[in-house]
Structure 1
Amino acid sequence: MKMTVIGCGYLGATHAACMAELGHEVLGMDVDIDKVHTLNSGKAPFFERDLDDLLATHTASGRLHFTASYKEAADFADLHFIGVGTPQQPGSDAYDLSHLFEAVRRLAPGLTRPAVVAVKSTVPVGTAPRVAELLREQAPAGDLIEVAWNPEFLRESFAVEDTLRPDRLVLGFNTGHSRAEALLRQAFAEIIDSGTPTIVTDWATAELAKGAANSFLATKISFINAMAEVCEKSGADVAELADILGHDIRIGRRGMRPGLGFGGGCLPKDLRGFITRADELGADEAVGMLREADTVNARRRRRVIDLAREELGTDLRGKRITVWGAAFKPGTDDVRDSPALAVAQDLHGLGATVTVTDPKALDNARKLHPGLDYVEDPIAAAEDADLLLHLTEWPQFSPIDPRRLAARTRNPKVIDARGTLDTARWRDAGWTIRCLGHR
């Protein structure tokens, strides 16, 4: 098939490359000329595992290319995926849909024949009818343009795997959607034929799917972090507790990792956007537990700062603190709502000199927080440190020899906010180590 992908950020670029991997001819469209040039060279403008390999393979094969022209996109195919960003509105928890509606408005004039527009962007429920109305009004083909909703459930650093081998496929349509469903089933034929559960539903249910899923995941993470607070007060160990709970098949261990909490461009935004839309619909009481999940998540960051002050004293001026981790999780260079950087910036605001290291995210971190210091080598970053904070659980950090590291620091003290360092090994090397919720 021939298809386009409008918007080539984390979601769109991955979707475009994976559709080419499935054998389709794909044109990616983005208004950022520099991004288009980078993608056409076979590289992503961000780090995502395995994505560069797919981009290099399929830009070279001719199956995949990128443009900045909406007209070229409209002429190229009759199936158009939209994957533009829907960040939070400035000063609000609601979704900012301006990029989505701008993409629809600019694509519409080129839609002169029957086509399907399948939106993948995460939105508040009730957005699909507005997209359909815009297309009906502004596309020359009018009522011959069908709108489908195809939410994504990608995990950053696993986005390629999650696109090619998803755990479910959701297709949302309005009434009379036979052509749209046929086209999408053809697009995803290999995935569907492999046995992937495929749920065909209405617009509203499909719109709710991503926000509801992320809200549940956020609640699960915040639940185990709330239990970590109880463990700290009672002398219990949250890792062992999580293992005990996880063996209950109704609960499950996956995704219930205690620590510093969640961040990134999806979970916090989707949780708050889901709450905001529920408030608008008059269902505010139904999402009270989601508000508490958000509160617990913020409290984890404050707990690390409290522990730092317990170790170094309330006055942090003149103290040197090393932070291992800038990305919101390992395997990505994404620093959006990064718990690690939020803690680092707050400690800097309290007067500490904060040095940050990360295998992939330093360039993005520098742009966001230029007042922090940045060092590529995690051992060099700890030079003369009064305290080390382990805030993103990159696998590169755990093998570092704590004895060698202790010789470089001013005080061998570490706060392991992710619970992945070998505490016995670090204590044997002379370190004072404190972990969130662990003995």
Structure 2
Amino acid sequence: MTYRITVIGTGYLGATHAACLAELGYEVLGMDVDPAKVAALSEGRVPFFEPELEPLLRKNVESGRLRFTTSYDEVAEFGDVHLICVGTPQRDGEYAADTSYVEAAIEELVPRIRKPALIVGESTVPVGTASRLADRIAELAADPSQVELAWSPEFTREGFAVEEFMRPARLVFGVRSERAEKILREIFAPIIERGTPVVVCDYATAELVKTAANSFLATKISYINTMAELCDATGADVTLLADALGYDDRIGRKFLDAGLGYGGGCLPKDLRGFMARAGELGVEEALTFLREVDAINMRRRQRVVDVAGELLGNQWIGKRVAVLGAAFKPNTDDIRDSPALNVAGRIHLHGALVSVYDPKANENARRVFPTLRYADSVMDACRGAHLVLHLTAWQEFRELDPAVLGEVVAERQVLDAQNCLDRDTWRAAGWTYRGLGRR
């Protein structure tokens, strides 16, 4: 059977899924409640930056395999399989995840369905959500025997979303029937045939995989950042320490880069949502350590401000500081919970004159923090600067010529908060180089 697929929610997750599924040959209908977003996508324009996505989207819109709508009626009539890709942000004033967008999608879609359909949750939700939604689907469906729920969490990283959809590390299918598993295996057959492992499990395990994975990664990042603090105190080098640890295949080198810490729309809120759900389940002590993981991560931002102050002789007023980076990581324009933008804001509040440049995130940052100055280039941001802060590890910044940059700054001082500039090259060009946890 050739399935027609709908994707509800067209943010980073949904737009990528829609374009990639169309690229696999399916007829796909993307749905969003935001008419402006639907209009942009229908013209082949992605309203955010994600490498490789816009050409893929445009190609499949032009071919007719991919369309977009704001109508749940059209979605219900069109689709055999419905992917729920809406956001689950952190609730205001709480740690818990807000699942209202997922619930709203179910409430709107299910009563309209008049044919056999599989609903597939892709969003990150607290464990127990899928089971509750399955019960609600049975109440809402005109024929409960024809509408089934599966949960298949996504693991695509911003900046690598297309590549990781097409070649994921694994696929996880949380199902209650052989029929649901069969449909998912058929849909993802081109990916499975490339050797991608498939884990078939219950709803609860599928839900836990995503939050457990993100919590583990956050823990690994915070761990190496505590080692950076020890290295600063002892004169050791955290980069060499990480290399030595990484040779142990029980540990591995990935996510052992000390720096400014993590941010974005996933790791921080997933970590906190995981802790909140553990408390609701009566096992809060099992995840108490994650509070320290979160605290370590937030402490890194103040650490960068403190080191910047040291380099400026703790004289902020009248000092010009160039900030390279505003996005929470390279290859995206996403500034949600961005450590770089947070540091820029803190330094601005100390009284320094802050000039920010990011290859893709300037406009998003300007909307959130309009009191900062935003430059059109690295050279513009650094002109007259007493200190350069490297806060987001864009390739453009890694490839800078420190000798050329040194001609426009007031003082050749750089704080490499991502520990990825070539220290020796910068020092040879006359710069005072400071990393985090590096001699």
1:313 to partner: Cα distance = 3.4
In structure 2, give the amino acid aligned to 1:345.
G
Q: Give the counterpart letter for 2:137 in structure 1.
A: L
Q: What's 1:208 paired with? A: 208
Q: Which amino acid aligns with 1:105?
A: E
Q: What do the CA deviations read for 1:274-323 (whole angstroms, capped 9, x no partner)?
A: 11111221212111222111111111111100001112233422221110
Shift of 1:87: 0.5
Q: How does 1:41-52 map to 2 (within 5 A)?
A: 41-52=43-54
Q: d(CA) in 2 for partners of 1:218 and 1:400?
A: 29
| CA-CA distance at 1:43 after TM superposition | 2.0
- Match in the other structure for 1:303: 303
Cα separation, 1, equivalents of 2:277 and 2:371? 36
- Residues 1:148 and 2:150 are matched in the alignment: yes
Letter in 2 for 1:277: R
Alpha-carbon shift at residue 116 of structure 1 (Å)? 0.8
What residue in structure 1 maps to residue 224 of structure 2?
A: 224
CA distance in structure 2 between the aligned counterparts of 1:47 and 1:255, rounded to whole angstroms: 23
For 2:340 and 2:253, the matched residues in 1 are separated by: 24
- State the Cα deviation string for residues 98-143 of structure 1 (Å, max 9, x = none): 1111111111221122211100000000101221122222222234
Give the percent of matched residue pairs that are identical in Structure 1 and Structure 2. Answer: 56
Amino acid at match of 2:39: H
**Which residue matches 1:113?**
115
Deviations 1:129-175 (A, max 9, x none): 2211222222222342111000000111111111111110000013x
Three-state SS of the structure 1 residue aligned to 2:356 is strand
CA distance in 2, matches of 1:319, 1:71: 58
Could you say what secondary structure the match of 1:171 adopts? strand
- The 2-side partners of 1:289 and 1:48 are apart by 33
How much has 1:41 moved relative to structure 2? 1.2
* Counterparts of 2:322 and 2:281, CA distance in 1: 45
Distance, in Å, in 1 between the alignment partners of 2:179 and 2:116 is 10
Matched residue pairs, number? 437
* Structure 1 position 329 matched with structure 2 position 326: no
The answer to which of 311-320 and 52-61 deviates more is 311-320
Alignment match, 2:238: 238
Cα separation, 1, equivalents of 2:291 and 2:11: 29
Amino acid in the other structure paired with 2:259: G
In structure 2, give the amino acid aligned to 1:72. Answer: E
What is the TM-score of this pair, normalised by structure 1? 0.97
Query: What is the Cα-based RMSD across aligned positions, in Å?
Result: 1.1
- Equivalent residues in 2 for 1:276-287, closer than 5 Å: 276-287=276-287
Residue 410 of structure 1: how far off its partner (Å): 1.7
Whether 2:387 is the aligned partner of 1:375: answer no
Structure-2 separation of matches of 1:307 and 1:207: 40
Task: Tell me the equivalent position of 2:35.
Answer: 33
1:39-438 equivalence runs, <5 A? 39-174=41-176, 177-438=177-438
SS in 1 for 2:67: strand
Q: What runs of 5+ residues in structure 2 fail to find an aligned partner?
A: none
Alpha-carbon offset, residue 183 of structure 1 = 1.3
Q: Deviations over 1:379-423 (max 9, x none)?
A: 111111121100001110122222222221222111000111111
Provide the rounded CA distance (Å) in 1 between the counterparts of 2:344 and 2:42: 36
- SS at structure 2 position matched to 1:135: helix
Return the offset for 1:426: 1.3
Shift of 1:182: 1.6
Displacement of 1:325 after TM fit? 0.2
Shift of 1:13: 0.5
Q: Distance in 2 between matches of 1:186 and 1:356?
A: 47
Q: Distance in 2 between matches of 1:122 and 1:210?
A: 7
User: In structure 2, the residue corresponding to 1:214 is in which secondary structure?
Assistant: helix
**Cα distance in 2 between the residues matched to 1:165 and 1:59:** 22
- Measured in 2, the distance between the counterparts of 1:201 and 1:129 equals 13
Structure 2 letter corresponding to 1:343: V
Alignment partners' CA distance in 1, 2:178 and 2:272: 34
* TM-score, normalising length: structure 2: 0.97
Runs of 4+ in 1 over 4 A off after TM superposition: none
Amino acid at match of 2:24: L
Q: Which moved more, 1:285-294 or 1:117-126?
A: 285-294
Distance in 2, Cα, partners of 1:160 & 1:400: 28
Separation (CA, whole Å) in 2 of partners of 1:194 and 1:406: 48
